Structure 1
Amino acid sequence: MINGKRILCVIPARGGSKGVSRKNLRDLNSRPLLGWPIRAAKDSKYIDEIICSTEDSEIAELARDLGVRTPFQRPSELASDEAATADVLLHAIDSLERTNQIFDYLLLLEPTSPLTEASDIDQAIEVLDAESANFDSLVTVCESISGHPNFTFEFVNSSKLLKSINQKDWKLYRRQEINPLFFVEGTLYLSKISTFKTHKLFIQPKTFGMEIPRWKSFEIDDELDFLLIAAIMSDAPDRFPKEN
Protein backbone atom coordinates (compact mmCIF):
# COMPACT_ATOMS: atom_id res chain seq x y z
CA MET A 1 0.00 0.00 0.00
CA ILE A 2 0.86 3.65 -0.25
CA ASN A 3 -0.85 6.03 2.19
CA GLY A 4 -3.51 3.41 2.89
CA LYS A 5 -4.35 2.87 -0.79
CA ARG A 6 -4.21 -0.67 -2.18
CA ILE A 7 -2.52 -1.39 -5.50
CA LEU A 8 -3.42 -4.15 -7.94
CA CYS A 9 -0.95 -5.21 -10.62
CA VAL A 10 -2.33 -7.10 -13.61
CA ILE A 11 0.00 -8.86 -16.05
CA PRO A 12 -1.92 -9.96 -19.16
CA ALA A 13 -0.36 -12.89 -21.03
CA ARG A 14 -2.39 -14.70 -23.63
CA GLY A 15 -1.29 -17.83 -25.41
CA GLY A 16 -1.67 -16.59 -28.97
CA SER A 17 0.90 -14.40 -30.66
CA LYS A 18 1.38 -13.57 -34.33
CA GLY A 19 4.79 -11.90 -34.18
CA VAL A 20 6.60 -14.52 -32.09
CA SER A 21 4.88 -17.82 -31.35
CA ARG A 22 4.29 -18.48 -27.63
CA LYS A 23 6.48 -15.49 -26.79
CA ASN A 24 5.32 -15.18 -23.17
CA LEU A 25 6.95 -18.55 -22.48
CA ARG A 26 10.04 -17.76 -24.52
CA ASP A 27 13.40 -17.53 -22.77
CA LEU A 28 15.01 -14.10 -22.52
CA ASN A 29 18.36 -13.84 -20.73
CA SER A 30 17.71 -17.23 -19.04
CA ARG A 31 14.29 -16.16 -17.70
CA PRO A 32 10.85 -16.64 -19.32
CA LEU A 33 9.56 -13.42 -20.84
CA LEU A 34 6.63 -13.55 -18.42
CA GLY A 35 9.11 -13.71 -15.56
CA TRP A 36 10.49 -10.21 -16.08
CA PRO A 37 7.35 -8.18 -15.21
CA ILE A 38 6.63 -10.62 -12.37
CA ARG A 39 10.12 -10.04 -10.97
CA ALA A 40 9.71 -6.24 -11.19
CA ALA A 41 6.28 -6.31 -9.55
CA LYS A 42 7.39 -8.60 -6.73
CA ASP A 43 10.33 -6.30 -5.98
CA SER A 44 8.09 -3.24 -5.71
CA LYS A 45 7.60 -1.69 -2.27
CA TYR A 46 3.94 -0.88 -2.79
CA ILE A 47 2.07 -3.52 -4.80
CA ASP A 48 -0.50 -5.45 -2.74
CA GLU A 49 -1.61 -8.05 -5.28
CA ILE A 50 -0.15 -9.39 -8.52
CA ILE A 51 -2.30 -11.47 -10.84
CA CYS A 52 -1.75 -12.91 -14.29
CA SER A 53 -4.71 -12.81 -16.67
CA THR A 54 -4.52 -15.62 -19.21
CA GLU A 55 -6.65 -18.16 -21.02
CA ASP A 56 -3.67 -20.50 -21.47
CA SER A 57 -3.12 -23.33 -18.99
CA GLU A 58 0.65 -23.52 -19.61
CA ILE A 59 1.09 -19.79 -19.01
CA ALA A 60 -1.10 -19.99 -15.91
CA GLU A 61 1.05 -22.80 -14.51
CA LEU A 62 4.23 -20.82 -15.19
CA ALA A 63 2.77 -17.73 -13.49
CA ARG A 64 1.94 -19.75 -10.40
CA ASP A 65 5.41 -21.31 -10.41
CA LEU A 66 6.79 -17.75 -10.45
CA GLY A 67 4.74 -16.83 -7.41
CA VAL A 68 1.70 -14.93 -8.71
CA ARG A 69 -1.98 -15.79 -8.62
CA THR A 70 -4.19 -16.77 -11.55
CA PRO A 71 -7.54 -16.44 -9.75
CA PHE A 72 -9.62 -16.94 -12.91
CA GLN A 73 -9.34 -18.16 -16.48
CA ARG A 74 -9.68 -15.37 -18.98
CA PRO A 75 -12.69 -15.89 -21.29
CA SER A 76 -11.76 -16.88 -24.84
CA GLU A 77 -13.42 -13.76 -26.28
CA LEU A 78 -10.92 -11.67 -24.31
CA ALA A 79 -7.95 -13.62 -25.65
CA SER A 80 -8.38 -12.88 -29.36
CA ASP A 81 -6.30 -10.48 -31.47
CA GLU A 82 -9.26 -8.09 -31.45
CA ALA A 83 -9.78 -8.06 -27.67
CA ALA A 84 -9.15 -4.68 -26.04
CA THR A 85 -6.71 -4.53 -23.15
CA ALA A 86 -9.17 -2.34 -21.24
CA ASP A 87 -11.78 -5.10 -21.35
CA VAL A 88 -9.21 -7.61 -20.09
CA LEU A 89 -8.37 -5.33 -17.16
CA LEU A 90 -11.99 -4.54 -16.35
CA HIS A 91 -12.73 -8.26 -16.32
CA ALA A 92 -9.89 -8.77 -13.84
CA ILE A 93 -11.08 -5.92 -11.59
CA ASP A 94 -14.68 -7.17 -11.67
CA SER A 95 -13.64 -10.76 -10.93
CA LEU A 96 -11.74 -9.64 -7.83
CA GLU A 97 -14.39 -7.20 -6.64
CA ARG A 98 -17.02 -9.95 -6.75
CA THR A 99 -15.01 -11.68 -4.03
CA ASN A 100 -14.63 -8.41 -2.09
CA GLN A 101 -11.03 -7.78 -3.17
CA ILE A 102 -11.03 -4.00 -3.55
CA PHE A 103 -8.14 -1.86 -4.77
CA ASP A 104 -7.52 1.85 -5.33
CA TYR A 105 -4.86 1.82 -8.05
CA LEU A 106 -4.44 -0.38 -11.13
CA LEU A 107 -0.99 -1.07 -12.54
CA LEU A 108 -0.59 -2.72 -15.95
CA LEU A 109 2.68 -4.46 -16.75
CA GLU A 110 3.03 -6.15 -20.13
CA PRO A 111 5.54 -8.95 -20.74
CA THR A 112 6.44 -7.28 -24.03
CA SER A 113 8.19 -4.53 -22.01
CA PRO A 114 10.68 -6.64 -20.04
CA LEU A 115 13.03 -3.77 -19.19
CA THR A 116 10.65 -2.40 -16.55
CA GLU A 117 12.23 -2.34 -13.09
CA ALA A 118 10.81 -2.15 -9.58
CA SER A 119 12.29 1.34 -9.25
CA ASP A 120 10.17 2.49 -12.24
CA ILE A 121 7.06 1.07 -10.61
CA ASP A 122 7.75 2.64 -7.22
CA GLN A 123 8.55 6.02 -8.74
CA ALA A 124 5.32 5.98 -10.76
CA ILE A 125 3.21 5.06 -7.73
CA GLU A 126 4.84 7.72 -5.56
CA VAL A 127 4.39 10.40 -8.23
CA LEU A 128 0.74 9.65 -8.97
CA ASP A 129 -0.20 9.37 -5.32
CA ALA A 130 1.59 12.63 -4.47
CA GLU A 131 -0.15 14.35 -7.40
CA SER A 132 -3.52 12.62 -6.95
CA ALA A 133 -5.33 15.95 -6.57
CA ASN A 134 -4.21 16.97 -10.06
CA PHE A 135 -3.78 13.68 -11.95
CA ASP A 136 -5.79 10.47 -12.23
CA SER A 137 -3.43 8.30 -14.25
CA LEU A 138 0.21 8.00 -15.26
CA VAL A 139 1.89 6.57 -18.34
CA THR A 140 5.55 6.35 -19.23
CA VAL A 141 6.75 8.28 -22.26
CA CYS A 142 9.92 8.59 -24.28
CA GLU A 143 11.10 11.43 -26.48
CA SER A 144 10.30 10.87 -30.15
CA ILE A 145 13.32 11.69 -32.29
CA SER A 146 13.53 9.67 -35.50
CA GLY A 147 9.73 9.63 -35.68
CA HIS A 148 9.36 13.37 -35.04
CA PRO A 149 7.11 15.03 -37.68
CA ASN A 150 9.91 17.41 -38.67
CA PHE A 151 12.00 14.39 -39.65
CA THR A 152 9.17 12.49 -41.37
CA PHE A 153 8.32 12.59 -45.07
CA GLU A 154 5.85 11.10 -47.50
CA PHE A 155 5.91 10.39 -51.22
CA VAL A 156 3.95 12.70 -53.54
CA ASN A 157 1.61 10.29 -55.27
CA SER A 158 3.77 7.54 -56.79
CA SER A 159 6.57 9.81 -58.00
CA LYS A 160 8.92 9.11 -55.05
CA LEU A 161 9.22 12.88 -54.61
CA LEU A 162 9.66 13.56 -50.90
CA LYS A 163 7.31 15.95 -49.13
CA SER A 164 7.53 16.88 -45.47
CA ILE A 165 4.41 16.07 -43.48
CA ASN A 166 4.99 18.94 -41.06
CA GLN A 167 6.73 21.75 -42.92
CA LYS A 168 5.75 24.19 -45.66
CA ASP A 169 9.35 24.45 -46.82
CA TRP A 170 11.78 21.54 -46.81
CA LYS A 171 14.49 22.06 -44.24
CA LEU A 172 16.83 19.68 -42.47
CA TYR A 173 16.45 20.58 -38.80
CA ARG A 174 18.94 19.82 -36.09
CA ARG A 175 17.63 17.98 -33.07
CA GLN A 176 18.27 21.06 -30.92
CA GLU A 177 15.87 23.09 -33.09
CA ILE A 178 12.77 20.93 -32.77
CA ASN A 179 10.10 21.09 -30.11
CA PRO A 180 10.31 17.86 -28.07
CA LEU A 181 7.50 15.40 -28.66
CA PHE A 182 6.86 12.18 -26.74
CA PHE A 183 5.27 8.81 -27.38
CA VAL A 184 3.66 6.41 -24.91
CA GLU A 185 6.12 3.55 -24.89
CA GLY A 186 4.72 0.86 -22.61
CA THR A 187 7.06 0.50 -19.63
CA LEU A 188 4.05 0.71 -17.32
CA TYR A 189 0.53 2.11 -17.05
CA LEU A 190 -1.03 3.28 -13.77
CA SER A 191 -4.47 4.64 -12.93
CA LYS A 192 -6.93 5.20 -10.16
CA ILE A 193 -9.37 2.36 -10.59
CA SER A 194 -12.34 4.71 -10.27
CA THR A 195 -11.30 6.78 -13.30
CA PHE A 196 -10.17 3.74 -15.29
CA LYS A 197 -13.68 2.32 -14.99
CA THR A 198 -15.05 5.60 -16.35
CA HIS A 199 -12.65 6.19 -19.24
CA LYS A 200 -11.59 2.58 -19.98
CA LEU A 201 -8.20 4.02 -20.93
CA PHE A 202 -4.97 4.99 -19.22
CA ILE A 203 -4.79 8.17 -21.30
CA GLN A 204 -7.38 10.25 -19.50
CA PRO A 205 -8.16 13.98 -19.26
CA LYS A 206 -5.67 14.24 -16.38
CA THR A 207 -2.75 11.96 -17.23
CA PHE A 208 0.81 12.44 -15.99
CA GLY A 209 3.63 11.62 -18.41
CA MET A 210 6.66 10.10 -16.68
CA GLU A 211 9.68 10.28 -18.97
CA ILE A 212 11.97 7.26 -19.18
CA PRO A 213 15.24 6.77 -21.09
CA ARG A 214 15.14 5.57 -24.68
CA TRP A 215 16.77 2.20 -23.95
CA LYS A 216 13.84 1.22 -21.75
CA SER A 217 11.36 1.81 -24.56
CA PHE A 218 12.26 -1.30 -26.56
CA GLU A 219 9.44 -3.83 -26.76
CA ILE A 220 9.17 -7.45 -27.88
CA ASP A 221 7.34 -7.60 -31.20
CA ASP A 222 9.61 -9.81 -33.30
CA GLU A 223 12.77 -11.90 -33.23
CA LEU A 224 15.06 -8.88 -33.62
CA ASP A 225 13.62 -7.38 -30.45
CA PHE A 226 14.65 -10.47 -28.49
CA LEU A 227 18.23 -10.00 -29.67
CA LEU A 228 18.30 -6.26 -28.92
CA ILE A 229 16.81 -6.56 -25.44
CA ALA A 230 19.00 -9.53 -24.57
CA ALA A 231 22.02 -7.39 -25.47
CA ILE A 232 20.77 -4.55 -23.25
CA MET A 233 20.23 -6.94 -20.35
CA SER A 234 23.64 -8.52 -20.81
CA ASP A 235 25.22 -5.08 -20.61
CA ALA A 236 23.59 -4.48 -17.20
CA PRO A 237 23.74 -7.83 -15.38
CA ASP A 238 23.31 -6.23 -11.97
CA ARG A 239 19.96 -4.76 -13.04
CA PHE A 240 18.77 -7.72 -15.09
CA PRO A 241 20.33 -10.81 -13.50
CA LYS A 242 19.97 -14.20 -15.08
CA GLU A 243 17.77 -16.66 -13.26
CA ASN A 244 19.71 -19.05 -11.03
Structure 2
Amino acid sequence: MALLGNAVNLAIIPARGGSKRIPHKNIKPFCGKPIIAYAIENAINSGVFDEIIVSTDSQEVAAIATHYGAKVPFLRPQHLSDDHTPTLPVIAHALETQQVYDEDNVCCLYPTTPLLPPHCLTQAYMTLCENTNVRYVFGALQYAHSPWRSFGLDSIESSGSVDSKAHLSNECSVESFAPTLLHPEFELTRSQDLAPLYHDAGQFYFAKALCFKRQLPIFTPHSRALILNPLHAHDIDTPQDWQLAELKYQILHT
Protein backbone atom coordinates (compact mmCIF):
# COMPACT_ATOMS: atom_id res chain seq x y z
CA MET A 1 0.00 0.00 0.00
CA ALA A 2 1.09 3.61 -0.41
CA LEU A 3 2.18 5.21 2.84
CA LEU A 4 0.56 8.52 3.72
CA GLY A 5 2.65 11.69 4.02
CA ASN A 6 6.33 11.89 4.88
CA ALA A 7 6.15 10.37 8.36
CA VAL A 8 8.08 7.21 9.13
CA ASN A 9 5.95 4.24 10.21
CA LEU A 10 7.53 2.13 12.92
CA ALA A 11 6.35 -1.07 14.60
CA ILE A 12 7.78 -1.85 18.03
CA ILE A 13 7.23 -5.33 19.44
CA PRO A 14 7.90 -5.54 23.21
CA ALA A 15 9.14 -9.08 23.87
CA ARG A 16 11.10 -9.63 27.05
CA GLY A 17 12.70 -13.00 27.67
CA GLY A 18 11.11 -13.88 31.02
CA SER A 19 7.61 -15.21 31.68
CA LYS A 20 6.50 -17.07 34.80
CA ARG A 21 3.15 -18.56 33.79
CA ILE A 22 4.28 -19.67 30.32
CA PRO A 23 8.09 -20.03 30.25
CA HIS A 24 9.72 -18.38 27.22
CA LYS A 25 6.24 -17.39 26.09
CA ASN A 26 7.29 -14.90 23.40
CA ILE A 27 9.32 -17.51 21.48
CA LYS A 28 7.40 -20.66 22.41
CA PRO A 29 6.36 -22.69 19.32
CA PHE A 30 2.79 -21.92 18.30
CA CYS A 31 1.30 -24.08 15.53
CA GLY A 32 4.73 -24.73 14.05
CA LYS A 33 6.83 -21.61 14.66
CA PRO A 34 7.76 -19.17 17.43
CA ILE A 35 4.76 -17.11 18.39
CA ILE A 36 6.62 -13.82 17.88
CA ALA A 37 7.11 -14.77 14.22
CA TYR A 38 3.42 -14.18 13.54
CA ALA A 39 3.54 -10.61 14.85
CA ILE A 40 6.62 -9.84 12.75
CA GLU A 41 5.15 -11.39 9.61
CA ASN A 42 1.80 -9.64 10.11
CA ALA A 43 3.58 -6.31 10.47
CA ILE A 44 5.48 -6.99 7.26
CA ASN A 45 2.39 -8.18 5.39
CA SER A 46 0.33 -5.17 6.45
CA GLY A 47 2.42 -3.06 4.07
CA VAL A 48 2.42 -0.21 6.57
CA PHE A 49 5.80 -0.19 8.26
CA ASP A 50 9.16 1.15 7.19
CA GLU A 51 10.85 -0.66 10.05
CA ILE A 52 9.98 -3.34 12.61
CA ILE A 53 11.91 -3.28 15.89
CA VAL A 54 11.78 -5.80 18.71
CA SER A 55 12.48 -4.49 22.22
CA THR A 56 13.89 -7.34 24.27
CA ASP A 57 16.35 -8.12 27.05
CA SER A 58 17.07 -11.59 25.62
CA GLN A 59 19.72 -12.58 23.08
CA GLU A 60 17.64 -15.66 22.24
CA VAL A 61 14.55 -13.57 21.46
CA ALA A 62 16.72 -11.17 19.46
CA ALA A 63 18.13 -13.99 17.32
CA ILE A 64 14.67 -15.38 16.52
CA ALA A 65 13.27 -11.91 15.81
CA THR A 66 16.02 -11.05 13.33
CA HIS A 67 15.59 -14.42 11.63
CA TYR A 68 11.96 -13.54 10.86
CA GLY A 69 12.71 -10.07 9.55
CA ALA A 70 12.71 -7.67 12.50
CA LYS A 71 15.56 -5.51 13.76
CA VAL A 72 16.96 -5.54 17.29
CA PRO A 73 19.19 -2.45 17.48
CA PHE A 74 19.47 -2.52 21.29
CA LEU A 75 18.83 -4.73 24.30
CA ARG A 76 16.29 -3.46 26.79
CA PRO A 77 17.69 -2.64 30.26
CA GLN A 78 16.74 -4.87 33.17
CA HIS A 79 14.77 -2.18 35.00
CA LEU A 80 12.30 -2.23 32.09
CA SER A 81 12.14 -6.02 31.84
CA ASP A 82 10.44 -7.29 34.98
CA ASP A 83 6.91 -8.57 35.55
CA HIS A 84 5.62 -5.19 36.68
CA THR A 85 6.90 -2.92 33.90
CA PRO A 86 4.04 -1.20 32.04
CA THR A 87 4.03 -1.04 28.25
CA LEU A 88 4.25 2.73 27.73
CA PRO A 89 7.69 3.18 29.37
CA VAL A 90 9.03 0.33 27.24
CA ILE A 91 7.86 1.96 24.02
CA ALA A 92 9.11 5.38 25.18
CA HIS A 93 12.54 3.86 25.85
CA ALA A 94 12.63 2.28 22.39
CA LEU A 95 11.83 5.62 20.78
CA GLU A 96 14.58 7.32 22.81
CA THR A 97 17.16 4.95 21.37
CA GLN A 98 16.11 5.64 17.76
CA GLN A 99 15.86 8.79 15.66
CA VAL A 100 12.09 9.03 15.78
CA TYR A 101 10.30 12.32 15.23
CA ASP A 102 7.18 13.37 17.11
CA GLU A 103 4.98 13.12 14.00
CA ASP A 104 6.15 9.63 13.03
CA ASN A 105 3.56 6.86 13.33
CA VAL A 106 4.32 4.16 15.88
CA CYS A 107 2.55 0.88 16.53
CA CYS A 108 3.12 -1.06 19.72
CA LEU A 109 2.38 -4.60 18.55
CA TYR A 110 2.40 -7.37 21.13
CA PRO A 111 4.37 -10.53 20.30
CA THR A 112 1.54 -12.91 21.24
CA THR A 113 -0.86 -11.86 18.46
CA PRO A 114 -0.86 -14.83 16.06
CA LEU A 115 -4.57 -14.48 15.28
CA LEU A 116 -4.49 -10.83 14.24
CA PRO A 117 -4.86 -10.36 10.45
CA PRO A 118 -2.52 -7.85 8.78
CA HIS A 119 -5.48 -5.83 7.49
CA CYS A 120 -6.36 -4.84 11.08
CA LEU A 121 -3.03 -3.05 11.36
CA THR A 122 -3.63 -1.41 8.00
CA GLN A 123 -7.08 -0.24 9.06
CA ALA A 124 -5.78 1.12 12.36
CA TYR A 125 -3.06 3.03 10.52
CA MET A 126 -5.56 4.56 8.10
CA THR A 127 -7.84 5.56 10.99
CA LEU A 128 -4.97 7.32 12.74
CA CYS A 129 -3.87 9.16 9.60
CA GLU A 130 -7.38 10.27 8.62
CA ASN A 131 -8.26 11.70 12.06
CA THR A 132 -5.79 14.33 13.20
CA ASN A 133 -7.50 14.73 16.60
CA VAL A 134 -7.07 11.03 17.48
CA ARG A 135 -4.23 10.10 19.82
CA TYR A 136 -4.41 6.31 19.75
CA VAL A 137 -6.11 3.58 17.76
CA PHE A 138 -6.32 0.20 19.50
CA GLY A 139 -8.04 -3.15 19.11
CA ALA A 140 -11.07 -3.89 21.27
CA LEU A 141 -13.40 -6.83 21.86
CA GLN A 142 -17.01 -6.93 23.00
CA TYR A 143 -17.53 -8.89 26.19
CA ALA A 144 -19.01 -12.28 25.38
CA HIS A 145 -21.04 -12.16 28.61
CA SER A 146 -22.24 -8.78 29.76
CA PRO A 147 -20.48 -7.38 32.87
CA TRP A 148 -23.80 -5.72 33.73
CA ARG A 149 -24.88 -9.16 35.00
CA SER A 150 -21.63 -9.95 36.85
CA PHE A 151 -21.44 -10.91 40.51
CA GLY A 152 -18.88 -11.51 43.22
CA LEU A 153 -18.65 -14.71 45.25
CA ASP A 154 -18.51 -14.41 49.02
CA SER A 155 -17.59 -17.63 50.79
CA ILE A 156 -19.91 -18.68 53.61
CA GLU A 157 -17.72 -21.63 54.65
CA SER A 158 -15.05 -21.37 57.33
CA SER A 159 -12.59 -23.06 54.97
CA GLY A 160 -11.79 -19.76 53.24
CA SER A 161 -12.49 -17.86 50.07
CA VAL A 162 -13.43 -19.16 46.65
CA ASP A 163 -10.48 -20.56 44.70
CA SER A 164 -10.17 -18.04 41.86
CA LYS A 165 -7.66 -20.28 40.04
CA ALA A 166 -9.73 -23.47 40.07
CA HIS A 167 -10.72 -22.95 36.45
CA LEU A 168 -7.06 -23.31 35.45
CA SER A 169 -6.98 -26.97 36.51
CA ASN A 170 -8.85 -29.95 35.12
CA GLU A 171 -11.07 -30.10 38.19
CA CYS A 172 -14.30 -28.26 38.89
CA SER A 173 -14.35 -26.13 42.01
CA VAL A 174 -17.16 -26.92 44.44
CA GLU A 175 -17.63 -24.11 46.94
CA SER A 176 -20.35 -22.87 49.21
CA PHE A 177 -20.75 -19.22 48.34
CA ALA A 178 -23.20 -16.38 48.17
CA PRO A 179 -23.36 -14.39 44.91
CA THR A 180 -23.56 -10.61 45.16
CA LEU A 181 -24.70 -8.83 42.01
CA LEU A 182 -22.51 -5.84 41.12
CA HIS A 183 -25.39 -4.20 39.24
CA PRO A 184 -28.61 -5.45 40.87
CA GLU A 185 -30.64 -2.93 38.87
CA PHE A 186 -30.15 -5.20 35.83
CA GLU A 187 -31.05 -8.50 37.52
CA LEU A 188 -34.33 -8.80 35.62
CA THR A 189 -33.15 -7.20 32.37
CA ARG A 190 -32.86 -9.51 29.40
CA SER A 191 -29.24 -9.93 28.30
CA GLN A 192 -30.09 -8.80 24.74
CA ASP A 193 -31.42 -5.52 26.16
CA LEU A 194 -28.20 -4.63 28.00
CA ALA A 195 -25.87 -2.10 26.40
CA PRO A 196 -22.74 -3.80 24.99
CA LEU A 197 -19.46 -3.21 26.81
CA TYR A 198 -15.96 -3.61 25.42
CA HIS A 199 -12.44 -4.25 26.65
CA ASP A 200 -8.92 -3.77 25.37
CA ALA A 201 -8.02 -6.74 23.18
CA GLY A 202 -4.33 -6.42 24.12
CA GLN A 203 -3.15 -6.67 20.52
CA PHE A 204 -1.76 -3.29 19.44
CA TYR A 205 -1.76 0.48 20.02
CA PHE A 206 -1.17 2.85 17.10
CA ALA A 207 -0.26 6.50 17.75
CA LYS A 208 1.99 9.38 16.87
CA ALA A 209 5.42 8.98 18.44
CA LEU A 210 4.83 12.05 20.61
CA CYS A 211 2.00 10.25 22.45
CA PHE A 212 4.29 7.37 23.37
CA LYS A 213 7.17 9.68 24.25
CA ARG A 214 4.95 11.56 26.69
CA GLN A 215 3.31 8.31 27.81
CA LEU A 216 -0.14 9.80 27.37
CA PRO A 217 -3.00 7.60 28.61
CA ILE A 218 -4.57 5.40 25.96
CA PHE A 219 -8.17 4.94 27.06
CA THR A 220 -9.50 8.48 26.70
CA PRO A 221 -12.05 10.19 24.43
CA HIS A 222 -9.15 11.11 22.13
CA SER A 223 -8.65 7.45 21.19
CA ARG A 224 -10.52 5.21 18.79
CA ALA A 225 -11.32 1.52 19.19
CA LEU A 226 -11.14 -0.87 16.27
CA ILE A 227 -13.66 -3.61 17.11
CA LEU A 228 -12.11 -6.99 16.33
CA ASN A 229 -13.65 -10.30 15.40
CA PRO A 230 -13.38 -12.56 18.51
CA LEU A 231 -11.52 -15.11 16.37
CA HIS A 232 -8.81 -12.53 15.66
CA ALA A 233 -7.68 -11.94 19.24
CA HIS A 234 -7.07 -13.97 22.37
CA ASP A 235 -5.34 -12.95 25.59
CA ILE A 236 -2.63 -15.57 26.22
CA ASP A 237 -1.65 -15.68 29.90
CA THR A 238 -2.05 -19.35 30.87
CA PRO A 239 -1.45 -22.75 29.22
CA GLN A 240 -5.22 -23.03 28.77
CA ASP A 241 -5.25 -19.68 26.95
CA TRP A 242 -2.50 -21.00 24.70
CA GLN A 243 -4.50 -24.11 23.81
CA LEU A 244 -7.61 -22.07 23.02
CA ALA A 245 -5.61 -19.67 20.85
CA GLU A 246 -4.17 -22.59 18.88
CA LEU A 247 -7.69 -23.93 18.35
CA LYS A 248 -8.77 -20.54 17.01
CA TYR A 249 -5.75 -20.45 14.71
CA GLN A 250 -6.59 -23.90 13.34
CA ILE A 251 -10.18 -22.81 12.71
CA LEU A 252 -8.96 -19.75 10.80
CA HIS A 253 -6.43 -21.65 8.74
CA THR A 254 -8.22 -24.86 7.77
TM range (shorter): 0.7 to 0.9
The alpha-carbon distance between structure 1 residues 36 and 125, as it changes in their structure 2 partners (threshold 3 A), is same
Counterparts of 2:143 and 2:88 in 1: how far apart (Å)?
Answer: 25
With the length of structure 2 as denominator, give the TM-score of the two structures. Answer: 0.85
Divergent runs of 4+, >3 A: 155-159
Residue 30 of structure 1 aligns with an amino acid whose one-letter code is G
Residue 152 of structure 2 aligns with an amino acid whose one-letter code is E
Q: Determine the structure 2 residue equivalent to 1:64.
A: 66
| Residue 176 (structure 1) aligned with residue 175 (structure 2) | no
Question: What CA RMSD, in Å, does the superposition of the two structures yield over aligned residues?
Answer: 1.9
Counterparts of 2:240 and 2:155 in 1: how far apart (Å)?
Answer: 32
Deviation of the 1:140 alpha carbon: 1.1
SS of structure 2 residue aligned to 1:235: helix
The alpha-carbon distance between structure 1 residues 235 and 157, as it changes in their structure 2 partners (threshold 3 A), is closer
Q: Deviations over 1:104-161 (max 9, x none)?
A: 11101112222112101001001111112x3121111111132x33220124574733
Counterparts of 1:63 and 1:155 in 2: how far apart (Å)?
Answer: 44
Deviation of the 1:229 alpha carbon: 1.5
Q: Determine the structure 2 residue equivalent to 1:164.
A: 181
Q: Determine the structure 2 residue equivalent to 1:150.
A: 148
Deviation of the 1:210 alpha carbon: 1.0
Counterparts of 2:17 and 2:249 in 1: how far apart (Å)?
Answer: 25
The alpha-carbon distance between structure 1 residues 49 and 169, as it changes in their structure 2 partners (threshold 3 A), is closer
The alpha-carbon distance between structure 1 residues 236 and 156, as it changes in their structure 2 partners (threshold 3 A), is closer
Alignment: residue pair count: 232
Q: Determine the structure 2 residue equivalent to 1:21.
A: 23
Deviation of the 1:169 alpha carbon: 6.6
The alpha-carbon distance between structure 1 residues 169 and 232, as it changes in their structure 2 partners (threshold 3 A), is closer
With the length of structure 1 as denominator, give the TM-score of the two structures. Answer: 0.88
Q: Deviations over 1:179-238 (max 9, x none)?
A: 111111112211111223234433344001111112223122111122212122222227
Counterparts of 1:87 and 1:129 in 2: how far apart (Å)?
Answer: 24
The alpha-carbon distance between structure 1 residues 197 and 203, as it changes in their structure 2 partners (threshold 3 A), is farther
The alpha-carbon distance between structure 1 residues 93 and 169, as it changes in their structure 2 partners (threshold 3 A), is closer
The alpha-carbon distance between structure 1 residues 150 and 205, as it changes in their structure 2 partners (threshold 3 A), is closer
Counterparts of 1:162 and 1:194 in 2: how far apart (Å)?
Answer: 46
Give yes or no for contact 1:141–1:209 (8 Å, CA) kept in 2: yes
The alpha-carbon distance between structure 1 residues 227 and 155, as it changes in their structure 2 partners (threshold 3 A), is closer
Give yes or no for contact 1:114–1:219 (8 Å, CA) kept in 2: no
Q: Unaligned 5+ residue runs, structure 1?
A: 239-244
Q: Determine the structure 2 residue equivalent to 1:230.
A: 246
Deviates more, 1:152-161 or 1:79-88: 152-161
| Residue 119 (structure 1) aligned with residue 119 (structure 2) | yes
Q: Determine the structure 2 residue equivalent to 1:190.
A: 206
Counterparts of 2:9 and 2:108 in 1: how far apart (Å)?
Answer: 11
Q: Unaligned 5+ residue runs, structure 2?
A: 158-176
SS of structure 1 residue aligned to 2:54: strand
Aligned counterpart in structure 2 of residue 91 of structure 1, from 71, 93, 102: 93
Residue 178 of structure 1 aligns with an amino acid whose one-letter code is L
Deviation of the 1:94 alpha carbon: 0.4
Residue 134 of structure 2 aligns with an amino acid whose one-letter code is F
Counterparts of 2:153 and 2:251 in 1: how far apart (Å)?
Answer: 39
Q: Determine the structure 2 residue equivalent to 1:137.
A: 136
SS of structure 1 residue aligned to 2:184: coil
Q: Determine the structure 2 residue equivalent to 1:242.
A: none
SS of structure 2 residue aligned to 1:34: helix
Residue 120 of structure 1 aligns with an amino acid whose one-letter code is C
SS of structure 1 residue aligned to 2:66: helix
Aligned counterpart in structure 2 of residue 32 of structure 1, from 31, 34, 42: 34
Counterparts of 2:221 and 2:251 in 1: how far apart (Å)?
Answer: 38
The alpha-carbon distance between structure 1 residues 73 and 153, as it changes in their structure 2 partners (threshold 3 A), is same
